[in-house]
Chains A and B, each alone.
Chain A
Amino acid sequence: MIFLRLIVVNLLRHRIRTVISMAGIAFSVAAMLTVVALLQGAIGMFSGILSSGAEMIVFERNVSDLFFSDVSQSAAAAIAKWPMVEHADPVLFGVVASEGHPIVTCFGVTATDARIHDAQWLAGGPQDFGRQDSVVLGDRAAQFLGATVGKQAQIGHETFTVVGIIRTRNGFEDGGVFMPINEARDFFHKQGSSVLTIKLRNKDDAAQFKADVHAQFKDLIALEDREFERTYSQFRILRATAWAVGICGLALGGLGVANTMIMSVFTRIREIAILRVNGFSGFQIAAVIFGESAVVSVLGGIAGAILGALTLVALKHIPALDGYVDGSLHPLLMFGVVLLALVTGMAGALYPTAYAMRIRAVEALRFE
C-alpha cells in the first residue's frame, strides 16, 4: 500500500508534469487508434467490395493490384459450371475521371450481382440495370456528379443515362458507378473481368475449389475472403502503414514519459538515497520508478482509447467519410493499444530506472 503511495505521491507532487505526460500518451494512443481504425475500415470496405455476398475470390495470379487482373470469360464460364459453385459473378474494376473528380471507381457487374439486387434503390429499380449506355450510380456519386435518374452523366470520355441510384452497405461503393459487365468491358477495353466472386454450395468445399482452380487455371488463384484480406499486398501495406504511423505516434508519447521519468528521478535523488539507506534494494527502487511510468502510461492509454473512440464516432458522422470509418473498436484492439502504451511507458522508464538504481546513497545524501 505504501509502495503505491510512494508512486502516487510523486506523481501528485508534480501534477502538471504528470498530466502533460499522460496527455502525450493519450494523444498518441488516440492517433494510433484513429489511424488503425480508419485503415481497418478502408480494408474492410475494399474487402467487402471484392467479396460482396461471396466467400471466395478468383483473380489473376501475381498481379500487384486487382485493377490489373484479368480473368478470361471462358475461365469464368467454366468455373460457373462446376457443381460445387452456387454462382460465380465476374466483376470488372475500373477508374475514370469526371469533371472535378479525378478518380471515380467503376464497377462492371452482372444484374445478379449482390451489389445490384441487395442494394437499397433510392431511385429506379433493378429491372432498369443493363440497359444500353446506362449506368446506376451510388448515392454519393450521384451527389458529386449532380446526377438524377433520367439525366445524362459524363463518365470519363463518354456520356451515360442514369437509370438508378442505389445505397449499398459500403461507403466506397456508394461513391462508384455501376455498369453492366459487357458495357464495362467495352468501356475499359478489357476481355474478361478483374475478379470472379464465388459463392459455394458448401463452404467446406473451399479447399477443393482452390485446388481445382490451381489445377485447371495455372494463371489464376482462388482465395477465401479472410485469406485474401490477410495476404493481399495492398492491404498489408495499408496495415503496415497504419501500425507504423501509430507506433511513431506512440514512440513520441514514450519520449514524453521518458522525459517525465528522468525529471522525476533527477528531482528526488536525495529521496531515493533515503529509500536506499532504509533498505530498499535496486529492484524496489526500480519498481517505484516503473510503477510511476505504468500509472502514467496506463491512465494515458485509457484516456487515449476513450479519446480515439470519440474521434471515430465524430468521424463517422462526417458525410464525406461515410463508410470509410470502421467505428467498431474491438476490445482486443483497445486492450492492445493500452498494452502498447504501457510497454512504451516502460521503455521510457528504462534509462531513468537504471540511473536511479545506480544512485549511491552516500553521495546522494549530500545532494541538495
Chain B
Amino acid sequence: MNTHMSSTAVLPPAARMSNLWKSYEQGAIAVLNGVDLEVKQAQTVALCGPSGCGKSTLLHIIGGLDRPDHGEIEVHGRPLDANRNMVDFLRREVGFIFQLHNLIPDLTLEENCLLPAIAAGTPRHAALKRLEVLAERTGLQHRLGQRIQKLSGGERQRTAICRALMNRPAMLLADEPTGSLDERSSQGVFELLLELTRTEGVTLLMATHDLTLARRCDRLVQMRDGRIHEES
C-alpha cells in the first residue's frame, strides 16, 4: 500500500471523515461531536488538543479499532464499515505507534518487529530483509537480538516505529509517540518518524500535546470538545 507523492493528485484521500460522533457509557460521555476531516495521502498531520478532546478516539476509529456511533469514514477511498476485512486492513493499510510503545517484553526487538509480518504471512526472508532496512534507518541494527527490557525508552519507541512500518502500511497512526520520552529522545524519535514517513511516502496522523513538534507537520489540526476547532 505504499503511496508516492507524485500520484497523490489522482488518488483518493488517505482518510475522509464526515460528521463523526462517538460517545461512551450509553451517551453519557461524548467524545466526538461531529468531526469532519480529510487527510491527503502522504500528508503529515498533527492532532493537538487537551486531554480527553477525542484525539486518541479519532485515531482508533481511523485505524479500525473502534467504530463511530454516527457518521461516515473512508480510508483509502473505501468505507470503513462492517463489509471491510478489518484484519486485512490492520495488517496492510495502517500501522500503530502508541505512547507506551506496546511491545511484548519477553520477545526480542527483532521478534517484536516481525509480528505484523507473521500475522500477514509474509515469507520469512522477505520480512527479515525489510527489517534489515528499517533497523538500519532507525539505528537499531545492532540491537536486534536484545530483549525489550534492555532497551532505552527511545530505542523502544524506534522499535515500535519499525514494527508499525513492517508491512509497508500507507498510513501511520501515532498516539502521543513521544509522550513518554525525555526532550532529547523525543526530538530524535520525531525526526525519525518524519524522515521515515517521507521516505516511505506514508501518511502520518499523530496525536500530540507538543505544539513544537506538531508545527513541523504538514498540517496542524486543533481539537476541542470532540470537534475540529481550527486548522493551520
Closest beta carbon of chain A to B117's beta carbon, Å? 9
Nearest residue (CB) in A for B127 is A2
Per the 8 Å Cβ criterion, residues 244-297 of A in contact with B are: 270-271, 274-282, 284
Residues of A within 8 A of B102 (CB): 270, 274, 277, 365
Interface bits B102-133 vs A (CB < 8 Å: 1, else 0): 11101100010011101110001000000000
Nearest residue (CB) in A for B96 is A277
Nearest residue (CB) in A for B98 is A365
Cα distance A278–B119 when bound, in Å? 7
Cα distance A281–B90 when bound, in Å? 10
A310 in the interface, Cβ–Cβ < 8 Å? no
Q: A9-B106, A362-B60 are in contact. Are A278 and B87 (CB under 8 A)?
A: no
Interface residue count for A (Cβ, 8 Å)?
A: 25
A82 in the interface, Cβ–Cβ < 8 Å? no
Cα distance A10–B116 when bound, in Å? 19
In contact, B104 and A279 (Cβ under 8 angstroms):
no
Instruction: Give the interface SS of chain B, mostly helix, strand, loop or mixed.
Output: helix
**Residue among A274, A284, A360 with the highest chain B CB neighbour number at 10 A:** A274
In contact, B104 and A2 (Cβ under 8 angstroms):
no
A361 in the interface, Cβ–Cβ < 8 Å? yes
Per the 8 Å Cβ criterion, residues 1-50 of A in contact with B are: 1-3, 5-6, 9-10, 12-13
Interface size, B (range)? 20 to 34
**Residue among A276, A282, A360 with the highest chain B CB neighbour number at 10 A:** A276
Instruction: Give the interface SS of chain A, mostly helix, strand, loop or mixed.
Output: helix
B167 in the interface, Cβ–Cβ < 8 Å? yes
Closest beta carbon of chain A to B42's beta carbon, Å? 22
In contact, A280 and B98 (Cβ under 8 angstroms):
no
Q: A361-B65, A362-B60 are in contact. Are A278 and B107 (CB under 8 A)?
A: no
Cα distance A284–B87 when bound, in Å? 11
In contact, B91 and A279 (Cβ under 8 angstroms):
yes
Residues of A within 8 A of B114 (CB): 2
Cα distance A361–B60 when bound, in Å? 10
Nearest residue (CB) in A for B87 is A281
Q: A361-B65, A362-B65, A365-B98 are in contact. Are A279 and B116 (CB under 8 A)?
A: yes
Residues of B within 8 A of A282 (CB): 87
Q: A2-B111, A362-B60 are in contact. Are A279 and B90 (CB under 8 A)?
A: yes
25 A-B pairs with C-beta separation under 8 A: A2-B107, A2-B115, A2-B118, A5-B111, A6-B104, A9-B107, A10-B106, A270-B102, A274-B102, A277-B63, A278-B90, A278-B96, A278-B115, A278-B116, A279-B90, A279-B91, A279-B92, A279-B116, A279-B120, A279-B167, A280-B115, A281-B119, A284-B119, A360-B65, A365-B98
On B, residues with C-beta under 8 Å from A are: 60, 63, 65-66, 87, 90-92, 96, 98, 102-104, 106-107, 111, 114-116, 118-120, 124, 163, 167
4 more A-B residue pairs beyond the given contacts A270-B102, A277-B90, A281-B119, with a C-beta to C-beta distance below 8 A: A6-B104, A271-B104, A279-B91, A362-B65
